[in-house]
Amino acid sequence: MITCDFAILPVGTETTECKDYVTAAVQSIKDSGLNYQLTGMGTQIEAENLTELYEAIANAQEAIFELGIGRVYTVIKVDDRRDLKNRTLDAKVDTVNEMLK
């Protein structure tokens, strides 16, 4: 399982408000069918392979361009772990929560 945390930042907006851009990007991820979690600072997604991961992110970027933005800046963190099966986003959080005292 590949997990990813990413954020797409529109460059050149008229205001500091980003909710329309975030909504468009997250809707694109939702439409991809991949499991995702929206956080206050970005979006996390799970994918079976890099192709579907990068395609989903590319589509999210495109969704922002379609709103009239001429430039986006995307930060992507990928965890491609192949030594264990089913290391989902929830499983990673559960592991740490179980270890907390």
Would you state the pLDDT for residue 50? 96
Would you state the pLDDT for residue 15? 92
Would you state the pLDDT for residue 84? 85
Would you state the pLDDT for residue 101? 86
CATH numbers and ranges of domains, the chain? 2-99 (3.30.70.930)
Would you state the pLDDT for residue 82? 87
Coil, strand or helix at 6: strand
- What does the DSSP assignment read for 65-84? HTTT-SEEEEEEEEEE--SS
pLDDT digits (tens, 9 = 90+) for 9-60: 999 999 999 999 999 999 999 999 999 999 999 999 999 999 999 999 999 9
pLDDT digits (tens, 9 = 90+) for 67-95: 999 999 999 999 998 898 878 999 999 99
State the DSSP H helix or E strand holding residue 33, giving kind and residue range, or none if neither. Answer: none
40 DSSP 8-state letter: T
Would you state the pLDDT for residue 45? 97
Confidence of residue 6 (pLDDT cuts 50, 70, 90): very high
